């Protein structure tokens, strides 16, 4: 819901910017937008492919049926674990293969929005999350 509201505010500010050129970014972009670097490594030829993607928060799947309720910091840390991508279409070796995807934040937003996905299709994931104390 928050992301929906921020997108609506951002769209309105972009309309205003188009009619008043000179400002580079909206207040929503300045506070909530960041950038991630995604590195794909082909498991066949080991060629790396790198792309940069804008983010407005992280949308994280909750672990199902964990032994202990996970801490929020662990969930976020696990989000950045390397991930195997099956059916990766490598442009270098021209094969459909497996790639290792590594995601890292390169430009952190001032405020990071974390959305926990509590539904998998029509099934609710009731995993409790323990807030991290600092």
59 binds Zn ion (CB under 5 A): no
Quote the CA–CA distance of 118 and 124 in Å, as a whole number: 6
* Ranges within 70-99 binding Zn ion (CB under 5 A): 90, 92-93
132 binds Zn ion (CB under 5 A): no
Q: In this complex, which beta carbon is closest to Zn ion, that of residue 7 or of residue 89? A: 89
Quote the CA–CA distance of 93 and 89 in Å, as a whole number: 9
Least Å from the CB of residue 93 to Zn ion: 3
Residue 67 three-state SS: coil
Least Å from the CB of residue 52 to Zn ion: 21
Helices (H), the chain: 2-19, 27-32, 72-79
Residues at the contact surface with Zn ion, assessed by CB under 5 A:
42, 44-45, 47, 90, 92-93
């Amino acid at each position: 819901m928050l992301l929906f509201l921020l997108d609506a505010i951002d769209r309105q500010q972009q309309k205003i910017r188009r009619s008043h050129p000179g400002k580079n970014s909206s207040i929503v972009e300045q506070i909530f937008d960041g950038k991630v670097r995604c590195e794909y490594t082909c498991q066949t030829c080991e060629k790396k492919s790198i792309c940069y993607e804008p983010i407005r928060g992280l949308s994280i799947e909750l672990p199902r049926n964990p032994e202990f309720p996970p801490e929020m910091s662990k969930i976020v840390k696990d989000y950045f674990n390397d991930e195997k991508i099956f059916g990766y279409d490598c442009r270098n070796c021209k094969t459909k293969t497996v790639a290792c995807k590594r995601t890292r934040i390169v430009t952190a937003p001032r405020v990071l929005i974390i959305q926990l996905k509590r539904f998998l299709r029509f099934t609710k994931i009731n995993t409790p999350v323990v807030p991290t104390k600092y």
